[in-house]
Amino acid sequence: MTAVLEAKPAITRTVDARGSYCPGPLMELIRAIRESVVGDVITVLSSDKGSRIDIPKWIEKAGHRLVSLETLDGYDQIVVEKAR
């Protein structure tokens, strides 16, 4: 049961903001969050270094949930769940 609860949630939507500069990826994420419903899970792909720091901070402040942050080949993959 625990394993099921801790499983990675299904991605509702992916925002590919690679190539967009600060604060572009965050702006794209906010737009996607606004269009989503509570419980939706959004993946943001960003190649902007500042966004790696800013996006998790915004997620915390805005009251959403950071599911994961991974650095892949030249970009970051940030997964967030809309919590409110």
Partner 1 sequence: MDEPLNLVLFSGTDDKLQAAAVLTAGASAIGKPVNVFLQYWALDAFRRDRIGRDHGLAPEAGTEGRAHVDDLRHAGQVSWAETLRQAKDLGEVDIQACSLSMDLLDIDQADLDPLVDGVEGVTAFYLNAGQGQVVFI
Distance CA 73, CA 84 (A): 32
Total number of residues binding partner 1 (CB under 8 A)? Answer: 13
Q: Closest Cα partner for 33 from 75, 84, 68?
A: 84
Residue from 31, 39, 53, 83 touching partner 1 (CB under 8 A): that is 31
Binding segment (CB under 8 A) for partner 1, from list 1-9, 22-30, 37-45, 70-78 = 22-30
6/80 with CB nearer partner 1: 80
Q: What is the full DSSP assignment across 2-71?
A: HHHHHSPPPP-EEEE-TTPPTTHHHHHHHHHHHTS-TT-EEEEEE--HHHHHHHHHHHHHHT-EEEEEEE
Q: Which is nearer to partner 1, 58 or 75 (CB)?
A: 58
Q: Verify binding: residue 58, partner 1, rule CB under 8 A.
A: yes
Binding site for partner 1 (CB under 8 A): 19-24, 26-27, 30-31, 54, 58, 61
